[in-house]
């Protein structure tokens, strides 16, 4: 392994958890490299506005806060390898060998997994066929394509309600379809939603099929969770916000996962495997926010630096 590139800390994922981990690790004078399959920022770049992150009383857009975090980590020496997915992590004594999508191998003394989570699918007929042709998981990305059209948002949490309100900037009507008879979103967000005349609720309904016509979405079929008649609702677009799935496949054979696939960690982000840490939405947390992801990233980096310094007898 002597000819292999060696780094101190490999951070896999460039969302708020990974970016904060990079900042803390780089400030501790470690050689820290962030591997990101796309561009830095993670899911935050698809968020129109963040209004609950301290220090921004007027709010800040998702792309802006992602770029600020990126620049701050880079300023302290963190390296970024964008469009460089990691395909495999293998233990090598007390170190790890990472293999990129292009087959390059890198030796890391510690790894912080910050791969986040991806939106769940409804897994109903028509979903796969009309993905990109009316079916979307990102209102910020695709909302402008539905100017003066009718769309349906599926879900009842904060993300669903916030995205429904965002879509009213473009759509003539937004149906909010929820399987229960009350929303799970926080009260202040619910109040804004119910005050918006463009949003119409479809309570106690689930989507059973996405119906298309001429190669694009034309309607959704809804079934009642209370035994009422089925309904076909004409819409031009479907935006799904029904939860997320953790991106933990890289470490499923290395450390413990819970029954839903989240990486199990202690309060400092350490997994069941020494030297392997996890932070952000790939770990289980009831509150999935930028601030909680950032806090977890900081803790994981602090512990990873301590682990390396103790192993290599370095003084930070």
Active site residues: 138, 141-142
Contact 166, 48 (CB under 8 A): yes
Cα dihedral across residues 152, 156, 160, 165: positive or negative: positive
Cα of first residue to Cα of last residue in the chain, in angstroms, is 26
Q: Reduced to 3 states, what is the DSSP secondary structure of residue 73?
A: helix
Phi and psi angles of residue 228, each rounded to the nearest 5 degrees, phi first: -80, 165
* Euclidean distance between CA atoms 305 and 252, whole angstroms: 23
Structure tokens at 1: 């392994």
Enter the tokens of residue 90: 């293998």
Taking alpha carbons only, the member of 69, 86, 87, 90 closest to residue 78 is: 69
Q: Cα 116 to the chain's mean position, in Å?
A: 5
Tell me how far apart the alpha carbons of residues 66 and 20 are, in angstroms, rounded to a whole number.
Answer: 10
> Given the DSSP bridges, would you call strands 205-213 and 216-224 parallel, antiparallel or unpaired?
antiparallel
């Amino acid at each position: 392994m002597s000819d292999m590139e060696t780094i101190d800390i490999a951070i896999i994922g460039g969302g708020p958890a990974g970016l904060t981990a990079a900042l803390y690790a780089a400030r501790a004078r470690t050689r820290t490299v962030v591997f990101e399959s796309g561009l830095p920022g993670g899911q935050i770049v698809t968020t129109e506005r963040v209004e609950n992150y301290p220090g921004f009383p007027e709010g800040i857009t998702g792309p802006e806060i992602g770029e600020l975090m990126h620049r701050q980590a880079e300023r302290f020496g963190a390296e970024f390898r964008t469009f460089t997915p990691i395909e495999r992590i293998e233990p090598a004594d007390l170190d790890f060998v990472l293999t990129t999508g292009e087959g390059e191998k890198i030796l890391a003394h510690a790894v912080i997994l910050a791969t986040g989570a991806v939106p769940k699918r409804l897994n109903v007929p028509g979903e796969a066929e009309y993905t990109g042709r009316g079916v979307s998981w990102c209102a910020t990305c695709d909302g402008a394509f539905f100017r003066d059209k009718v769309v349906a948002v599926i879900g009842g949490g904060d993300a669903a309600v916030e995205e429904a309100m965002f879509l009213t900037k473009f759509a003539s009507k937004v149906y909010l379809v929820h399987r229960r008879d009350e929303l799970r979103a926080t009260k202040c967000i619910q109040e804004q939603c119910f005050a918006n005349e463009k949003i119409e609720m479809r309570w106690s309904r689930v989507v059973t099929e996405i119906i298309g016509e001429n190669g694009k979405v034309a309607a959704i079929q809804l079934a009642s969770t209370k035994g009422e008649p089925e309904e076909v609702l004409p819409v031009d677009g479907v935006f799904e916000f029904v939860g997320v799935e953790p991106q933990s496949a890289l470490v499923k054979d290395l450390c413990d996962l819970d029954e839903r696939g989240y990486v199990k960690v202690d309060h400092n982000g350490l997994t069941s495997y020494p030297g392997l840490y996890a932070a952000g939405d790939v770990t289980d947390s009831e509150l999935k926010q930028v601030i909680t992801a950032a806090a977890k990233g900081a803790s994981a980096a602090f512990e990873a630096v301590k682990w390396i310094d103790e192993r290599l007898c370095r003084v930070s």
